[in-house]
Structure formats: C-alpha cells, structure tokens
C-alpha cells in the first residue's frame, strides 16, 4: 500500500511540476507582448505619429468595438472559405497519397513535380483562379486547396517512407495484403508526420483565403482590408490582420488537440 501511495504521490508531483512549467512558459511571451504594445502606444503618442501611418494599439482595439458587426460578417465568409478548402485539401491529399502508395508509378511520375509546385507563390496563383472561376467562393476555396494540399501530401508520404523496413518485412512474412499492411501499419505510423503537415497547412489556410479575396471578391476579410487600405484606415487593416492571426492560431490549436487525442487513444 505504501508503494502504491508513493507512486501516486510522485505522479501528482510530476503533474504539478508540468503545470508550473506550462504556466511559466506562457508567462514570458505574454509579458513580452504586453510590453511591446505599451512601447508601441508610447511611441505613437510621444512622436505624434498619424494614424494613417501607424495606428496606436488603443485605436485598433476601438476598431474591434466600433466595427465588430462588419468584422464578424467578413470573418465568417473568410472562415467558411477556409474550412471548406482545408477539408477538401485533407481528403484530396489522403486520396492521392494512398493512390501513390498502392501504384508506385504514379508516385514516380508526379511526386517530384509536387515539390516544384511548392515554389510557386500563392499570390501568383490567386489571380488566375479569379479569372478562371470568378469572384465567388470557388476561386477562394481552390486557392486554399492548392495551398494546403501539398504540405499535407508531402508529410503524409514522408511518414509512409520513414517506416522501418523490418516492420514491412514482418508484414510480408505474415503474408499480409497491401490493404491490411496499409491499414494496420502504414497509416497509423504515418500519422505523426501527417499531423505535422496539417499544422503547417493550417497556418497557410486562412492567409490563402485572404490573399484570394484581395485580388477579387465582394466580401471577406481580404476585401475589407483592401478597402480600408485604399482609405488609409490602417487601424482597420491591423484589426483584420489580428483576426487572421487569431483564426490561424485557433486552427493550429484544434489540430494539436486532435493530434493529442489521437495518440492518447492509440496507447
């Protein structure tokens, strides 16, 4: 009984220690961020910087209060485009990845080309999509799909390729079919890198939708930013930028949570 008590006590101490470390890790960046905002505000006030050059953090905060309805409306449109495009890119990446694993000739033909496509900036693709698919939601969703598809696919394939040959040989000795090998070995062991690809893509997804809206559209955060920039309302531009960052962080947080839940249930 004493031994079990000691084990429980040690676990409680370790948990308490982990919580303390987590809180202390968050403390420093939060204090740094608040300090930077304070310095920013002070510089703008002391140097009388015009708001059309650099708005004060307090002005940006007031923008959220005064125009929250407009910001919410535009945010929901961009969020819808991002979620649809992101989910399509995940499904498409998994489909292509599985196809490449089962049919190696497809991988040999197209896999190297996919690395080259990563070098094409989103801002050069978006105008073409707007011309081909119009100013509606299609061009924005496709821009998100093209931006998010390749990081997910490349990381998924990297996860499959990194599997130890001994495991593959074991499944061969056991006369496992390709489907069973993929389901019980390749897919589970590629999940770590797959989630890495999702995390990378989630940071790009909202930005891709916003960039597509810059170049053509009637509603969305990108459209709102362009209009605000044209009228030199930089507080509105900064407010939109903050929303893009917040949504991107939420996306990353959700992916991290799903990753932790997945690997926790696999134990």
What pLDDT score does 175 carry? 81
pLDDT < 50 stretches in the chain:
1-8, 11-13, 15, 20-22
Which residues are CB-neighbours of 89 under 8 A, at least 6 positions away?
144, 145, 147, 148, 149, 152, 201
1 and 120, same domain (yes or no) = no
Which pLDDT score is estimated for 181? 86
Residues 60 and 43 in one domain: no
And the tokens for 68? 């929250």
What's the rounded Cα separation, in Å, for the pair 120 and 126? 11
Residues 43 and 101 in one domain: no
Q: Which helix (H) or strand (E) holds 18?
A: helix 2-46
Q: Where residue 118 sits, what CATH number does that domain have?
A: 1.10.3720.10
- 185-222: pLDDT as tens digits: 888 888 889 999 999 898 888 888 888 888 777 788 88
Of 101, 116, 201, nearest to 158 (Cα)?
Answer: 101
As a whole-number percent, the residues of the chain with pLDDT over 90 amount to 10
Q: Do residues 30 and 135 share a domain?
A: no
DSSP secondary structure, 122-147, as one string: HHHHHHHHHHHH-SSHHHHHHHHHHH
88 and 15 in one domain? no
Q: Are 85 and 174 found together in one domain?
A: yes
Structure tokens at 177: 């079919």
- Could you tell me the pTM of the whole model? 0.81
Length of the chain: 267
Beta carbons of 144 and 86 less than 8 angstroms apart = yes
**Count of CB atoms within 10 A of residue 61's CB?**
16
CB-based contact 207:244 (threshold 8 Å): yes
Q: At what angle do helices 68-102 and 234-266 cross, to 10 degrees?
A: 40
- What local confidence, expressed as pLDDT, does residue 15 receive? 47
Q: What is the predicted pLDDT for the residue at 3?
A: 47
**pLDDT at residue 267, as a whole number:** 63
Q: How far is CA 83 from CA 18, 41, 44, 89, in A?
A: 33, 35, 37, 10
| Pair 221, 210: CB distance under 8 Å | yes
What are the backbone angles phi and psi of residue 92, rounded to the nearest 5°?
-65, -40
Which tens digit of pLDDT belongs to each residue from 54-73? 888 888 888 888 888 888 99
The answer to whether residues 17 and 102 belong to one domain is no
pLDDT at 215: 78
Relative orientation angle of helices 221-230 and 68-102, to the nearest 10 degrees = 130
> Torsions phi, psi of 119, nearest 5?
-85, -5
What value does the mean pLDDT of the chain take?
A: 82
Q: Do 89 and 154 have their domain in common?
A: yes
One domain, residues 84 and 22? no
Domain that holds residue 1: 1-48
Q: Which residues contact 64 (CB under 8 A, 6 or more apart)?
A: 71, 239
Residue 232's pLDDT is what? 82
One domain, residues 166 and 62: yes
pLDDT of residue 1: 46
Domain count, the chain: 2
């Amino acid at each position: 009984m004493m031994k079990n008590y000691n084990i429980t006590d040690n676990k409680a101490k370790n948990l308490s220690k982990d919580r303390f470390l987590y809180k202390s890790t968050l403390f420093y960046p939060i204090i740094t961020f608040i300090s930077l905002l304070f310095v920013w505000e002070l510089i703008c006030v002391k140097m009388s910087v015009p708001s059309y050059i650099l708005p004060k953090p307090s002005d940006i905060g007031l923008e959220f209060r005064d125009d929250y309805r407009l910001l919410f409306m535009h945010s929901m449109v961009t969020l819808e485009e991002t979620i649809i495009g992101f989910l399509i890119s995940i499904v498409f990446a998994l489909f292509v990845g599985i196809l490449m694993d089962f049919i190696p000739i497809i991988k040999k033909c197209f896999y190297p080309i996919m690395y080259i496509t990563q070098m094409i900036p989103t801002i050069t693709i978006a105008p073409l999509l707007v011309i081909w698919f119009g100013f509606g939601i299609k061009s924005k969703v496709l821009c998100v799909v093209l931006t998010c598809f390749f990081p997910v696919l490349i990381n998924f394939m990297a996860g499959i390729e990194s599997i130890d040959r001994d495991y593959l040989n074991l499944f061969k000795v056991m006369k496992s079919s390709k489907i069973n090998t993929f389901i019980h070995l390749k897919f589970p062991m590629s999940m770590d890198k797959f989630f890495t690809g999702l995390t990378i893509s989630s940071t790009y997804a909202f930005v891709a939708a916003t960039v597509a809206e810059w170049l053509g559209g009637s509603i969305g955060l990108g459209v709102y930013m362009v209009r605000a920039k044209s009228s030199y309302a930089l507080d509105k531009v900064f407010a939109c930028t903050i929303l893009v960052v917040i949504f991107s962080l939420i996306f990353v947080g959700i992916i991290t949570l799903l990753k932790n839940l997945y690997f926790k249930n696999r134990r």
